[in-house]
Structure 1
Amino acid sequence: MNAMPTPPQYLVEAGLPARDRETVLSLWRGNLGQDARMTAKYEWFYLRCPHGEPLLQLLLDVPTQTHVGTASAGRRRLVWQGRELRGGVLVDLAVLPQHRSLGPALMLQQGLIAAAGEALDVLYGFPNPKAAPVFKRIGYAQSAHLVRYARVLRHAHYLRSRLPGWLASPAGWAADRVVALRDAWSRLRGPALRSAWTDQADARIDAVWADSHKGDDVMAVRDVGHLRWRFDESPLATTRYLLVKRAHDRALQAWFAVQRIEGTLHVRDFWSLDGANGMAAMHVGELLRAARTLGCAAVSVEMCASDVQRKGWQALHFVERGRRPVFTRWSSSDEPAAAASLFLTSADEDE
């Protein structure tokens, strides 16, 4: 007599963001950030995304018939050589503590891969480096790194760890003056620029995107509709835009989406008419001037970009401060874009 097959411990089910809101929030509670913050994120990221609902997977514990885990992929519009691609950024993996073994997490990720096979062209994510072997095991490739660069504007704080206290402040003041003069000299050698701050994405950003050279990288569409959802409607952080133009021209040359945290101005996204040829040093210089006027001690930016695209930042002495791996998994092995490089910024994450 044949023995009855053992029922599985877990099953992965496709979720629906509108229907499964309370289930997902209950799984997040105590596992992913502050409850109020995550509730606000759900309303924005899961229910109001203009690119479509995220792919949502739920992990069912079969013996108890309760959901014990969840994972998602938020939709993104990507472009490559004039073609639009359907992207998904991996977000919000949560498994209840008593079920946190490798198996359940792998099942959720494999569920996303299966769901993405028809709905998306590529999944991408920024997992913890310790998770790299797991992602490689289920078919992801480490495509690149998201690198953080920083530039110090006010040096006294940084010199206190290297100099006696009585010397750090005057030495910092002197370093600030020298660096500011060097930056001013660089700006004088270029065309006259003007910049202005705004709290919402300006409609002229569409012209910057439309008229810019996109190159051969896979990248997110950076139009005003995306920016208004990604930043202006986000309840998670306050974002401002620095708009850069020539002195006697209304049309924009470049823009930066920034968030100020304590004394550092973090550039979350940027683009210019130069596009894939890289942000021009004169535009980065205008960002530094504006940050210095605000009293910021430093400026930072994260990007996955080619040497050409980094040149404007490197010309103004931004230095690497850290890096995170980027993993991708294309739904079709025959997709030509899979061989292309990526252009990514902090905006290509979920927060």
Structure 2
Amino acid sequence: MNAQLAAPAYAARQGDVARDRDAVLSIWRGNLGEDAHMPAKYAWFYQQADAGPPLLELLTADGLEVGACSAGRRRMLRDGKPLRAGVLVDLAVLPEHRSLGPALMLQQGLAATARNELDLLYGFPNPKAVPVFKRIGYRPLGDLVRYVRVLRHGRYFARRLPQWLAYPAGMLADLFLRLRDALSHPDTALLHADWSESTDSRVQALWVRSTKPDGIVAVRDQAHLTWRFDRSPQRGFRFLLLSGADGSLLAWFATRLQDGILHVHDYWSLHGPAVGTRHIAALLRAAREAGHAAVSIELATAPIYLAPWQELGFVARGKRPIFGCWSAQTGGEVPTALHFTAADEDE
């Protein structure tokens, strides 16, 4: 009669970004994204981050590394004061060890470390992971909502209309909305719009001059944007820079094109997250001129900052919850305001 195999002895330990690189990449292999992309991601996110190396937690089974998760450090402000934040990323466990107990042990270890080194640890769990997040001590912060504005309606009408009718009708809708936008926001013509492949010193000057809102918001200085977009292994980010008559930067949008849709991953303006309708109208005009079918943005923000996007026709198309875990020193209360974009994730 075969003896029953003993269950592995699991343990969680703090990792070291330099020492444990090979172990982490081995855990990721076949379990987290495209294998060929992983070394470049590790170099960028773990070894070059502007806020310092992430917190790294490893799960061992009988002394062998079988799981990993991390918290990427983020420089943020809370009501204008520095906040040490971290975004939960890259949870991976080898298939033979994927059960609730080991995964919970791994995340509990990371959360315990984070409570000593960070003010806030946040993440974007999928629906199945929400009960686990709550059990560890995470609480809802808000929802990251995806908003979309269609610019070229032909392919969207084709889902409901015959093709011979969909595309002519789409062209008429496109023309009508383009004229409406131009007539509703004539001051857009006073803005000078430039596409740039990278950040420049004007971005830093804008951050210094800009209004910082109440609640939680990421630091958007040149150092962060250079790391987050210019050096990202995900190529294709472009900045739309909007300037006034004197050449000073008034607003920027960090974008990336995928499948004909221009995704706005981040933005900022002289008034902080309170970007004006004329700036958004300039973004739409630039996207139209480039031939893009739609513009999308993911936002978790106060209604006053969302209103200009809705006024320009952006419609909600899905959402994801944001959960956070506060350290004891912060008091643990949920803030009244939150301004997150897709850039507040890991990639």
TM-score by length of 1: 0.94
Find the residue that maps to 1:204 and give its secondary structure.
helix
1:294 aligns with 2:290: yes
Measured in 1, the distance between the counterparts of 2:290 and 2:48 equals 33
Q: Percent identity?
A: 54
Measured in 2, the distance between the counterparts of 1:241 and 1:26 equals 35
Measured in 1, the distance between the counterparts of 2:336 and 2:53 equals 26
Contact 1:279 1:311 in 2 (8 A): no
What amino acid does structure 2 have at the position aligned with 1:350? D
1:265 aligned residue? 262
- Aligned pairs for 1:95-244 (under 5 A) are 95-189=93-187, 192-244=190-242
Measured in 2, the distance between the counterparts of 1:333 and 1:100 equals 33
Deviation, 1:81, is 2.3
Measured in 2, the distance between the counterparts of 1:314 and 1:73 equals 33
2:3 aligned residue? none
Measured in 1, the distance between the counterparts of 2:7 and 2:39 equals 34
Measured in 2, the distance between the counterparts of 1:164 and 1:143 equals 44
Find the residue that maps to 1:49 and give its secondary structure.
coil
Deviation, 1:338, is 4.1
- Aligned pairs for 1:52-67 (under 5 A) are 52-62=52-62, 65-67=63-65
Measured in 2, the distance between the counterparts of 1:7 and 1:126 equals 31
**Structure 1 unpaired stretches of 5+:** 1-5
Deviation, 1:95, is 0.4
Deviation, 1:211, is 1.6
What amino acid does structure 2 have at the position aligned with 1:25? L
**Structure 2 unpaired stretches of 5+:** 1-5
Structural RMSD (CA):
1.5
Q: Which of the residues 84, 88, 91 maps onto 1:90?
A: 88
Deviation, 1:112, is 0.8
1:43 aligned residue? 43
What amino acid does structure 2 have at the position aligned with 1:30? G
The number of residue pairs the alignment matches comes to 342
2:75 aligned residue? 77
Deviations 1:236-261 (CA, angstroms, capped at 9, x unpaired):
23210000012x22101100000011
Contact 1:208 1:273 in 2 (8 A): yes
From the superposition, tell whether residues 334 and 55 of structure 1 become closer, same or farther in structure 2 (CA, over 3 Å): closer
1:313 aligns with 2:312: no
2:271 aligned residue? 274
Deviations 1:274-330 (CA, angstroms, capped at 9, x unpaired):
214x21100000000000000000000001001101111111010000100000000
Measured in 2, the distance between the counterparts of 1:308 and 1:160 equals 35
Find the residue that maps to 1:154 and give its secondary structure.
coil
